Structure 1
């Protein structure tokens, strides 16, 4: 009797914990949806922090985080005020803000405080230990980047975009296989790329050098497109779903709901499409498990056969869009190639106007 009582208490506690976690995920989903639907102001910082807060079960200290963001923004403004770029376009003020943010992300900076004391600001670095969040999903977080000063192609461009919005300028996220980077546009030089994992302005040829960007993927806006603010929020919805999946038990329909909402505002977002096919595959597994059988009988039952056909159709669409899966080890080698072949892939025009004069 005592043992049964303990089990009941454990199950009740587990259920309450799960409900609490689901509450924060639903809260974040509603916020992101309201932003997309125009019921809330589009705010990338709030979107990102709501997603990370859901995974952390509401334990995110937004006061400390906002103070850190404000500190970095103030430092960027200080850098901008104390130097002058060689760039002379009419949008110089905007480009100066981009340059100051680039320094925040990549440069060691000598800083003097109000009391005259000198200290050195240490920039952010790439985390090669867990770049995909396999060991710890928090490795993908902006909050973890701020804490450790190490990040990846997810957290680094996310932080950059957050800081850009704090300074009142736009910063467009852009996608490549397994990768996120920044696209800017200047009056004199048009669109250019900003790569924060290595602190370089790469030309498009580097992106194509991965070998996994099909021309159809570019034509269909899957890769190398400057995302709108709403499309960036769509990325947050998939982040939310991926964090949610890392619970021991989770509702498959919630994941699909996140993917569907993301696709509503970013129709060719292949990560959302792939997420849906994976979850539908899990639904097939669950249905077959209930029937005490395995995938060999998938065509035996109308409900599982229907889901399988749906998955096959969706995978066909994904392939037609130009998506090709890039192995993780090849991705890391491609990323390193930018540093090793810096001269070959660096945008000389952007490097020139990013040179500073005191």
Structure 2
């Protein structure tokens, strides 16, 4: 946000006393002084070479000094007058800027307690390598900012690492290939959707399947419900926190999985051993098909063409989503100001097709224009009164920006999905037909994984047998008659 600083220039004070009238200096009379220059000392024939000063010399010198003094004083007066004029112009310009900002800029929220934590979070995220960063750390930075940077990262990280180790240990105990990407994704899916027994040394604990939080799933009343830390603490979450936790665990297990988006929704995608993409719907513990997602009726063809929905987010695009989450937390806690624009601009730099970033940008420009219109005494929701903004070029430019942001979203294929429609669509995904299809997908993956495991075991056994035959001592049949 641009800040205008009032620069006060201090100048030294010049005090001028009254200048006395200088007396006239009359030329001395030749008869008044004895002319010693013409006296002869020892040689009366030698004439003196010392010139006689002009009679008006002293008067002329005094006049020149007075003129120089007057000229110097006039220059000082002119300089001071010029400096005072510049001061007045600077003060006027500063007042105009302040008046302009009061009307045309959103009031800064920087003075509110807690905003610094968000500024620090933005700087930390901006310093990350967009192609090589830890999602666990990036997400923690966002959530910790909401709590004033008072959360413990080492504790958060160690919890993620511990769960990842336990899942890999469980896979080994079940003789599953811990290097197989499909097997690791299935293990993660089961961890989220089924009660899972995990070993920690000699202790065995049962992790309860995560549940969908139907109470305030969008965090409208309590924004912390969007957080992974809340999911870990309570065992319930929604389509924002569950996929993020899945990806954090996948990151620790060196598992390839991706975040994908749908209207008001996010889910997990991974490629199986046959190269087919599978969708994991963590809110209901099911494998889903693209047809389920399209049933919402809010996915336009433009959205599919621009890959804003039903497509894998790259590492860089995922970081753009993290920046959008940072902006969301700031808005819910403090409101809109130019910092939201700064964050969303960074998100759009990483992903020019980020609908969440464009929505924040559109809402910020809308709030800014409403602030401007109200400051000018114009009702932005009265079309007749709104016509008066033509007298204010900056207000016209702001309104055009609002319309452009809305146009950008429309061109991407975005369409607003009301929360009640989303909840209805999400519930419809749990219908029996979809559940049966999900079970069929899970069974197919299990059978393929079992077959692969048997093949690997058979191959391993054959290799061991071959090695054993090489290591066994060789016996040769001896004919006694030839001894």
TM interval, shorter chain, is 0.7 to 0.9
1:156 partner SS: helix
Structure 2 residue 319 is the aligned partner of structure 1 residue 229? no
Pick from 239, 246, 270 the counterpart of residue 325 of structure 2: 239
Structure 2 residue 120 is the aligned partner of structure 1 residue 27? yes
> How far apart in 1 are the matches of 2:348 and 2:174?
43
Aligned residues: 336
2:446 maps to 354
2:130–2:315: 8 Å Cα contact kept in structure 1? no
Instruction: Decide whether aligned partners of structure 1 residues 345 and 31 sit closer, same or farther in structure 2, where only a CA change above 3 A counts.
Output: farther
> How far apart in 2 are the matches of 1:154 and 1:37?
21
1:133 maps to 219
1:4 maps to none
Structure 2 residue 299 is the aligned partner of structure 1 residue 213? yes
Alpha-carbon RMSD: 2.5
> How far apart in 2 are the matches of 1:298 and 1:259?
28
**How many angstroms does 1:156 deviate by?**
0.1
> How far apart in 2 are the matches of 1:280 and 1:331?
26
**How many angstroms does 1:46 deviate by?**
0.8
> How far apart in 1 are the matches of 2:111 and 2:212?
33
Which has the larger displacement, 49-58 or 281-290? 281-290
**How many angstroms does 1:298 deviate by?**
4.1
Instruction: Decide whether aligned partners of structure 1 residues 311 and 344 sit closer, same or farther in structure 2, where only a CA change above 3 A counts.
Output: farther
2:320–2:348: 8 Å Cα contact kept in structure 1? yes
2:367 maps to 282
1:222–1:270: 8 Å Cα contact kept in structure 2? yes
**How many angstroms does 1:317 deviate by?**
2.5
1:98 maps to 185
> How far apart in 2 are the matches of 1:202 and 1:95?
16
**How many angstroms does 1:71 deviate by?**
2.2
Q: Which has the higher contact order (CA 8 A, sep 6+)?
A: 1
1:320 maps to 411
1:206–1:345: 8 Å Cα contact kept in structure 2? no
1:187 maps to 273
2:130–2:319: 8 Å Cα contact kept in structure 1? no
Bigger Rg over Cα: 2
> How far apart in 1 are the matches of 2:436 and 2:405?
38
1:72–1:104: 8 Å Cα contact kept in structure 2? no
> How far apart in 2 are the matches of 1:281 and 1:230?
28
Pick from 154, 159, 164 the counterpart of residue 63 of structure 1: 154
**How many angstroms does 1:35 deviate by?**
2.2
Instruction: Decide whether aligned partners of structure 1 residues 80 and 224 sit closer, same or farther in structure 2, where only a CA change above 3 A counts.
Output: same
2:303–2:412: 8 Å Cα contact kept in structure 1? yes
2:236 maps to 150
Which has the larger displacement, 66-75 or 343-352? 343-352
Pick from 269, 279, 283 the counterpart of residue 197 of structure 1: 283
> How far apart in 2 are the matches of 1:17 and 1:58?
16
**How many angstroms does 1:130 deviate by?**
1.2
TM-score, with normalisation over the residues of structure 2? 0.65
> How far apart in 2 are the matches of 1:49 and 1:190?
32
1:226 partner SS: coil
**How many angstroms does 1:113 deviate by?**
4.5
**How many angstroms does 1:350 deviate by?**
4.6
**How many angstroms does 1:73 deviate by?**
0.8
> How far apart in 2 are the matches of 1:316 and 1:36?
31
Identify unmatched segments of 5+ residues in structure 1.
1-14
**How many angstroms does 1:134 deviate by?**
0.6
**How many angstroms does 1:346 deviate by?**
2.8
Instruction: Decide whether aligned partners of structure 1 residues 122 and 18 sit closer, same or farther in structure 2, where only a CA change above 3 A counts.
Output: farther
1:336 maps to 427
**How many angstroms does 1:251 deviate by?**
5.8
Identify unmatched segments of 5+ residues in structure 2.
1-107, 454-483
Which has the larger displacement, 257-266 or 309-318? 309-318
User: Residues 33-72 of structure 1 correspond to what in structure 2 (within 5 A)?
Assistant: 33-36=126-129, 41-72=132-163
Pick from 328, 350, 359 the counterpart of residue 265 of structure 1: 350
> How far apart in 2 are the matches of 1:205 and 1:92?
31
1:298–1:305: 8 Å Cα contact kept in structure 2? no
**How many angstroms does 1:17 deviate by?**
9.4
